[in-house]
Amino acid sequence: MGKLKQKMAEDLKLRGLCENTRITYLRCAEVFVRHYAKPPAQLGRTDIRDYLLQMLQDRKWKPATYNVHAAALKFLYSNTLERSSCGNPWTAFGRTKSIDSSSPA
């Protein structure tokens, strides 16, 4: 990633994210780039979607792991690469509310 990694690190710092978040986002971006062995600028929405889906299915990622990787990729593409054309392949897992049948309505 080289210069792009440095730019992303600077962008993360400018955004005011804590050091642990910056380290995690950079690591997630590196794993994504290594997975495809291509610069992220050559990858698009379909690649991001396929990667996240594959990691969910093959690696059995928990929702928290998925969410942090999705957030890191969203930051990389939206902020560092300034590409909003990727659409939204990184939908986060939501928390579902359970309905407690014992409580009165």
Whether 90 maps to a domain, the answer reads no
- Count Cβ atoms below 10 Å from residue 83 Cβ, excluding itself: 14
Provide the number of structural domains found in the chain: 1
Whether 39 maps to a domain, the answer reads yes
**Is residue 99 predicted with pLDDT exceeding 50?**
no
Note if the pTM is more than 0.75.
Answer: yes
20-53 tens-digit pLDDT: 999 999 999 999 999 999 999 999 889 999 999 9
Residue range(s) defining the domain that contains residue 7: 3-80
| DSSP element (H, E) containing 41 | none
Whether 103 maps to a domain, the answer reads no
> Residue holding tokens 């955004």?
15
CATH number for position 52: 1.10.150.130
Whether 33 maps to a domain, the answer reads yes
Whether 14 maps to a domain, the answer reads yes
Whether 104 maps to a domain, the answer reads no
> How many distinct helices (H) and strands (E) make up the chain?
4, 0
Whether 105 maps to a domain, the answer reads no
Asked which of 9-13, 24-28, 78-82, 97-101 is least confident by mean pLDDT, the reply is 97-101
- Dihedral sign, Cα of residue 95, residue 15, residue 19, residue 46: positive
- Tell me, what DSSP letter sits at residue 85? T
Whether 97 maps to a domain, the answer reads no
Task: In whole angstroms, give the CA distance from residue 9 to residue 40.
Answer: 15
Task: In whole angstroms, give the CA distance from residue 22 to residue 11.
Answer: 9
User: Taking residues 75-87, what's their average pLDDT?
Assistant: 83
